[in-house]
Chains A and B, each alone.
Chain A
Amino acid sequence: EPEVTQTPSHQVTQMGQEVILRCVPISNHLYFYWYRQILGQKVEFLVSFYNNEISEKSEIFDDQFSVERPDGSNFTLKIRSTKLEDSAMYFCASSEQEETQYFGPGTRLLVL
């Protein structure tokens, strides 16, 4: 069964450093998403991506964040200058139609 994959599974970085989180969505899916879950809190939407551009973003997704689909398979989330409060689990999701999203296993980011 096709699944969304994410790398790395864990990332530890120093405050101010740039990180790139990678996702490989399910191959025939057209809609891509990033969500995050701060420890003990609810899952929050960051950004959605369709047809090679951002379709919607939350207020969390400020100028330090960017997304890219550099080739036909990868979907990346870049955090330019990490802050302590960026420590969270980051989930990638994809969907074929707009309503049912399938999630990857997540990348746990720890900013020190």
Chain B
Amino acid sequence: AQSVTQLGSHVSVSEGALVLLRCNYSSSVPPYLFWYVQYPNQGLQLLLKYTSAATLVKGINGFEAEFKKSETSFHLTKPSAHMSDAAEYFCAATAGNTPLVFGKGTRLSVIA
């Protein structure tokens, strides 16, 4: 069965600092991988996705993620954090014909 692990339920960075949110997946078959962002009292917005094309995926708002099969990882990064990036971030996976399996989420705080 598929599983997704997000290390760190809460990450705090200073404005302008690097953002790194970690995600590892467990699957016998390389899955499709996603990052969603949830702003307070809002729904889930697709940030970026990996669907077996380029391993470095660029998303909205300056975020990117790299699929590393050898490490079963799909970490999310952004070179310079902005106050507006403060939100909950969810990593999710699917084999393509199965429902999304979500990680527990990482809450990102950005300190001025």
State the A residues within 8 Å of B (CB): 6, 33, 35, 41-45, 48, 56, 58, 91, 93, 98-106
Contact = CB atoms under 8 A, between A and B. Distances in A.
A47 to B, nearest CB: 9
A35 B36 CA distance: 14
A98 B100 CA distance: 10
A97 to B, nearest CB: 8
Nearest to B93: A99
B99 A105 contact: no
Contacts of B44: 43, 91, 93, 103, 106
Nearest to B45: A103
B9 to A, nearest CB: 10
A45 B46 contact: no
Chain A at the B interface: SS class: strand
Contact of A98 (B46, B92, B96, B105): B96
B51 A100 contact: yes
B87 to A, nearest CB: 14
Interface string B20-49: 000000000000101010000011111001
Interface residues of B, number: 23
Nearest to B105: A42
Contacts, number: 56
Contacts of A41: 104
Contact of A48 (B34, B42, B99, B101): B99
A92 to B, nearest CB: 9
B99 A33 contact: yes
Given A43-B44, A48-B99, A56-B99, A99 B90 contact: no
Contacts of B51: 99-100
Nearest 6 CB-CB pairs, A to B?
A: A105-B43, A45-B99, A103-B44, A99-B32, A43-B102, A42-B104
Given A98-B97, A99-B51, A103-B43, A42 B36 contact: no
Contact of B46 (A33, A42, A44, A102): A102
Given A42-B104, A103-B44, A56 B98 contact: yes
